């Protein structure tokens, strides 16, 4: 017999720039505050209800943790779209915990990312793909990741839950790169530090985390259901060429999804996406062809119990 669970609309998150890809890799990666704002607004107009944001130094394109830099684009995005603003606390690899938290503590957003486990985060294989770098920091940064641990200990997670969650009423996109991360999150749920409805972002295809195999997605979803029952909303992102297939699979299974140039620079095999909206429009067509619809920002706010776009600090 078919499931009686009502199919919900799909919450589409777009992550326009991130802190992984570098300027040499695509001319379409937004770098300046104006570019980030324009890409975020166009992604929202194309159907994204949540925008996951990082900032970059406008001269070099290097991930930039300063609150002042974020404040150059956050008000523009807020004035132009109703989409939920989600500020990364993952920041750029190599930043301290304080740096990673700076912008969110200043902006008091409705949502922020929270990485719920430590892992190796290997970007160094990308070194092989490019030769002429625009900036010296790019190959140095990728090389550094060979000996790098993305540190998100229990103490770090607790600190962010308390300072940003309790302190600012910010709710989280809990990024899980591995099965163990679900159990880390479950521990915080048991402690009462994470309250439903919470939002789990399952991340596939990062070197150091789960591989992008559909078996892994099915298993993670099954375990999350067993651990969290009806208390959570789940979403999927996959890095690189697995982005669209995994987003499609998530929608088919009743989940939510994330796209954006943070996670993949491509729109198809060997073809760079011209913008974030390009990716949002593509997955929107797929979602709608499947007979599903995208959630509005108001629906996303209600389902994730967010404090509201008028309660932020920008
Ligand atoms: N770049 C993604 C794989 C964060 O910003 O907190 C994970 C991410 C981390 O979005
Ligand atoms: Zn991010």
Average pLDDT value for residue range 115-130: 98
Residue 136 lies in a domain: no
Q: Give residue-wise pLDDT tens across range 276-305.
A: 999 999 999 999 999 999 999 999 999 999
Residue 233 lies in a domain: yes
Residue 7 lies in a domain: yes
Rounded Cα–Cα distance for residues 42 and 80 (Å): 10
* pLDDT over 70, % of the chain: 98
Residue 142 lies in a domain: no
What the block records as the tokens of 100 is 């990673």
Q: Give residue-wise pLDDT tens across range 199-235.
A: 999 999 999 999 999 999 999 999 999 999 999 999 9
> Which pLDDT score is estimated for 7?
77
What is the distance in angstroms between the CA of the first residue and the CA of the last residue of the chain?
Answer: 49
pLDDT band at 46 (very low <50, low <70, confident <90, very high): very high
| Number of structural domains the chain divides into | 1
Kindly report the CATH number assigned to the domain that includes residue 11.
3.20.20.70
Rounded Cα–Cα distance for residues 233 and 11 (Å): 9
Q: Give residue-wise pLDDT tens across range 48-101.
A: 999 999 999 999 999 999 999 999 999 999 999 999 999 999 999 999 999 999
Rounded Cα–Cα distance for residues 48 and 275 (Å): 13
Please give the model's pTM, rounded to 2 decimal places.
Answer: 0.98
Residue 132 lies in a domain: no
Residue 141 lies in a domain: no
Q: Give residue-wise pLDDT tens across range 149-192.
A: 999 999 999 999 999 999 999 999 999 999 999 999 999 999 99
Does the pLDDT of residue 1 top 70, yes or no? no
Does a cis peptide bond (omega within 30 degrees of 0) precede residue 98? no
> Which pLDDT score is estimated for 273?
98
Pocket of ligand 1 (CB under 6 A): 15, 18, 20, 88-90, 113, 115, 175, 203, 206, 262
Q: Which residues make Cβ contacts (< 8 Å) with residue 93, sequence separation at least 6?
A: 19, 20, 121, 123, 141, 144, 145, 148, 150
**Which atom in ligand 1 lies closest to the alpha carbon of residue 239?**
3
Q: Which residues constitute the domain of residue 98?
A: 2-123+149-311
Residue 74 lies in a domain: yes
Rounded Cα–Cα distance for residues 95 and 99 (Å): 6
**Which atom in ligand 1 lies closest to the alpha carbon of residue 54?**
5
Q: Give residue-wise pLDDT tens across range 84-98.
A: 999 999 999 999 999
Neighbour-count burial of 199, counting CB atoms closer than 10 A to its CB (0-12 exposed, 13-18 middle, 19+ buried): buried
Residue 133 lies in a domain: no
* Cα atoms in the Cβ-side hemisphere of radius 13 Å centred on 249: 18
Question: If you take atom 6 of ligand 1, which residue's CA is the nearest one?
Answer: 90
CA of 19 to the centre of ligand 2 (A): 7
CA of 222 to the centre of ligand 2 (A): 25
């Amino acid at each position: 017999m078919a499931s009686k669970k009502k199919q919900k609309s799909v919450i589409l998150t777009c992550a326009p720039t991130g802190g992984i890809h570098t300027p040499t890799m695509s001319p379409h990666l937004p770098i300046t505050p104006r570019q980030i704002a324009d890409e975020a607004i166009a992604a929202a107009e194309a159907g994204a209800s949540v925008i996951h944001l990082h900032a970059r130094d406008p001269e070099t394109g290097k991930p930039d943790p300063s609150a002042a830099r974020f404040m150059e684009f956050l008000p523009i995005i807020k004035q132009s779209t109703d989409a939920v603003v989600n500020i990364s606390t993952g920041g750029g690899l190599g930043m301290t915990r304080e740096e990673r938290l700076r912008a969110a503590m200043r902006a008091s957003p409705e949502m922020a990312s929270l990485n719920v486990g430590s892992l190796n985060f290997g970007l160094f294989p990308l070194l092989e793909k490019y030769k002429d770098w625009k900036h010296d920091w790019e190959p140095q940064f990728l090389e550094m990741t060979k000996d790098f641990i993305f540190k998100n200990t229990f103490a770090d997670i607790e600190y962010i839950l308390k300072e940003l969650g309790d302190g600012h009423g910010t709710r989280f996109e809990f990024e899980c790169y591995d099965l163990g991360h679900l159990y880390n999150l479950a521990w915080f749920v048991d402690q009462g530090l994470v309250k439903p409805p919470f939002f789990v972002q399952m991340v596939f295809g990062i070197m150091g985390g789960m591989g992008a195999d559909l078996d892994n997605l099915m298993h993670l979803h099954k375990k999350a259901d067993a651990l969290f029952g009806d208390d959570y909303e789940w979403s999927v992102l996959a890095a690189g060429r697995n982005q669209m297939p995994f987003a499609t699979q998530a929608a088919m299974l009743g989940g939510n999804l994330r796209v954006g140039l943070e996670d993949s620079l491509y729109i198809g095999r060997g073809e760079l996406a011209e913008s974030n909206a390009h990716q949002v429009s593509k997955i929107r067509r797929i979602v709608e062809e499947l007979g599903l619809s995208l959630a509005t920002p108001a629906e996303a706010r209600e389902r994730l119990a967010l404090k509201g776009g008028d309660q932020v600090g920008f």
